[in-house]
Chain A
Amino acid sequence: MPVQNNRADIRTRLQDLIPKIVLAPSVAAILIFVYGFIVFTGYLSLTDSKMLPSFDFVGFDNYARLFDLPAWNTALINLVIFAALYIAICTVIGLALAILLDQKIRGEGLLRPIYLYPMALSFIVTGTAWKWFLDPGLGLENTMHLWGWTDFQFGWIKDRHMAIYTLVIAAVWQTSGFVMAMFLAGLRGIDNEILKAAQIDGASNFALYRRIVIPLLRPAFLSAFVILFHMAIKSYDLVIALTGGGPGRATELPATFMYSYTFTRNSMGIGAASAVIMLMTVAAIMIPYLYSELGRKEK
């Protein structure tokens, strides 16, 4: 016969409650300010909100209009170009630097922090520096001319077809060192005995990396991809500081599109719709990733 245990003394019961009471404000904040707000923005995207939120339901009109807007389509194409190049180049440079640094390099302790320091800077600072460095009249082009290479031309930042690539350059400059650190940590985590075994098996250095080391770095690749992907989608500050979305609208990304449609063009419904698309894109990558990470830990 089961006996109910309702004799727990007050202290024990309080001890059971305190953790939940302490956790409650954080949980409430997250539920309201993150998930509540997501729902609210989602709802706004289905209304005809202009300058102020309105609650007149218009279904998926905003989404239809959004995808008819050339500016949005430009932003999407830009995002695809930017994200693809940004992720690819950061990964290649990061991996290469990590592998090279892992060759018992003297001065590694000096080089590593140099590769990584841009990560500590604000994108606004990065943008300020590169905006000037890429300015044909002042920066690299001018320097080359002064140094005697008078045919040298590098005016991408003023060119509406090439400006998007300057964003890639600055963003890669800022983040690739971080990717290097991730890969380096992965490399240092590989069991040395595996490498020794492969060398005894007669693998050349190239084969060693291609067949053994790089496959073992899979988790680092995955992490780097996820982090870079979500940074690409969130990119806002860099565009503002480097190109301001220009020349014209040539370097608009969804993040800047959302901001200008919501706050300066008084099309809150469309702005909200674009934010929902951004969220869904991030969620499509992050949720499976976080789920597997949490699941792996819980076993």
Chain B
Amino acid sequence: MSVASQDTAVKTGGIAKVFIYLILILFALFYLLPLYVMLTNSLKPLSEITGGNMMSLPRDWTIEAWLSAWSTAQVGVSPTGLQPYFVNSILMVVPAVAISTVLGALNGYILTKWRFRGDTLLFGLMLFACFIPFQIVLIPMARILGLLGIAGTTQGLVLVHVVYGIGFSTLYFRNYYASFPTELVRAAMIDGAGFFRIFWRIMLPVSGPIAVVTIIWQFTNIWNDFLFGASFAGLSAMPMTVALNNLVNSSTGVREYNVHFAGAIMAALPTLLVYIVAGRFFVRGLMAGSVKG
């Protein structure tokens, strides 16, 4: 995000400043509170939650809930914990992110440096595809996955995520490459480099930042997806978000809130980690996905 410049001409006085800090800190608490509650209560035994105050720190610190959420909790019909579904999510996310990013890079390269009649229309079609409510494709997609014999499999989910991820990855790379001087491509052509060589030797080496942005964006979206997972995954390929929802909303037995929280944090952990490690790129992706300038 373009927040490099902290320089503002607006000046505010002393008392106003105190109020400003007060408001800003209150909001910080508002945003942090649910995370705090989840984290502290995931480290309490169940008895301490049902009888106690959600705001207090655990008296008996325990990682029992985490272990249970990971490997023994009842998810749907089987007491497997979330572990297999975490693995499912990874098996789904990695190829889906890789394929959609590579395709997006190639598409962006073509749409900016090998322009042809009607390319803007094609891009417009891809762009609109980013914003459709996916309900409109659920019914035919279920049929196609069945016809292709990959209904309920991880491959099926990878296909779905790649198809609906291309629009955004193309958008990112296209906007990035648009500001990359076309003269460089022409110079490389005169030097004798062809389509792939130019991409590989000239474009890719300078694509680091946008590749990171795209990978983070796709990773976050696909990891956090619920609708496609719930619609197409079946039992064996169920991703983490769907498994978490099953864990939390299963109607049998005692509600183990501490286990729910541990599970929720587990589901959030990969994207949170990415956010903490590469927040700058995460924000840039959000902005690029909304303000196309």
Contacts and interface: CB of A to CB of B under 8 A. Distances in A.
> Does chain A touch chain B in the assembled complex, meaning CB atoms less than 8 Å apart?
yes
Contacts of B167: 30
A30 B30 contact: no
B28 A274 contact: no
Contact of A122 (B6, B111, B138, B226): B226
A122 B224 contact: yes
A35 B164 CA distance: 12
Q: Which 4 pairs from chain A and chain B are nearest by CB?
A: A122-B224, A19-B114, A195-B9, A237-B226
Q: Give the size range of B's interface with the partner.
A: 35 or more
Q: Which of B1, B124, B136, B279 has its CB near the most chain A CB atoms (within 10 A)? A: B136
Contacts of A115: 27-28, 31
Interface of B: 1-12, 17, 20-21, 23-24, 27-28, 30-35, 37-38, 49-50, 52-55, 103, 106-107, 110-111, 114, 116, 120, 122-129, 131-141, 143-144, 162-164, 166-167, 170, 178, 194-196, 220, 223-224, 226-227, 230-231, 241, 244-245, 248-249, 257, 260-261, 264-265, 267-268, 271-272, 274-276, 279, 282-283, 286-287, 290-293
Contacts of A30: 125-126, 129, 163, 166-167
A41 B137 contact: yes
Given A123-B224, A275-B135, A182 B287 contact: yes
Given A27-B122, A38-B137, A103-B12, A240 B245 contact: yes
A114 interface: yes
A241 B245 CA distance: 6
Interface string A11-48: 10001001110110111011101111110110010000
B8 to A, nearest CB: 6
A97 interface: yes
Contact of B248 (A29, A224, A241): A241
Main SS class of interface, A: helix
10 contacts: A25-B103, A27-B122, A30-B126, A121-B224, A124-B224, A146-B53, A185-B287, A272-B139, A290-B128, A294-B127
Contact of B166 (A26, A126, A227): A26
A119 interface: yes
A120 interface: yes
A162 interface: no
Given A132-B260, A205-B12, A287-B128, A234 B133 contact: yes
A241 B141 CA distance: 24
Given A129-B38, A187-B8, A236-B226, 11 more contacts: A15-B195, A33-B141, A36-B140, A101-B24, A108-B6, A111-B28, A122-B223, A272-B139, A287-B128, A296-B293, A298-B120
Interface string A157-188: 00000000000000001000110011011011
Contact of B110 (A23, A116, A142, A205): A23
Q: Which of A120, A181, A237, A255 has its CB near the most chain B CB atoms (within 10 A)? A: A120
Interface stretch (A2-10, A64-72, A83-91, A258-266): A258-266
A101 B10 CA distance: 12
Given A185-B3, A192-B8, A241-B248, A37 B241 contact: no
A263 B133 CA distance: 17
B31 A173 contact: yes
Nearest to A29: B163
Contacts of B126: 26-27, 30
B21 A26 contact: no
Given A100-B24, A263-B231, A44 B283 contact: no
Contacts of B290: 182, 223-224, 226-227
B7 A192 contact: yes
A103 B10 contact: yes
Contacts of A294: 120, 123-124, 127, 292
A126 B287 CA distance: 22
Contact of A22 (B32, B110, B120): B110
B33 to A, nearest CB: 8
A147 B52 CA distance: 11
Interface of A: 11, 15, 18-20, 22-23, 25-27, 29-31, 33-38, 40-41, 44, 53, 93, 96-97, 100-105, 108, 111-126, 128-133, 138-139, 142-143, 146-147, 173, 177-178, 181-182, 184-185, 187-189, 192, 195-196, 199, 205, 208, 219-220, 223-224, 226-227, 230, 233-234, 236-237, 240-241, 244, 254-255, 258-259, 262-263, 268, 271-272, 274-276, 278-279, 282-283, 286-287, 290-291, 293-294, 296-298
B84 to A, nearest CB: 17
Contact of A121 (B1, B21, B271): B271
Contact of B135 (A34, A259, A286): A259
A279 B23 CA distance: 39
Given A41-B140, A128-B244, A279 B224 contact: no
A9 B111 CA distance: 24
Contact of B241 (A96, A237, A271, A287): A237
Nearest to B274: A120
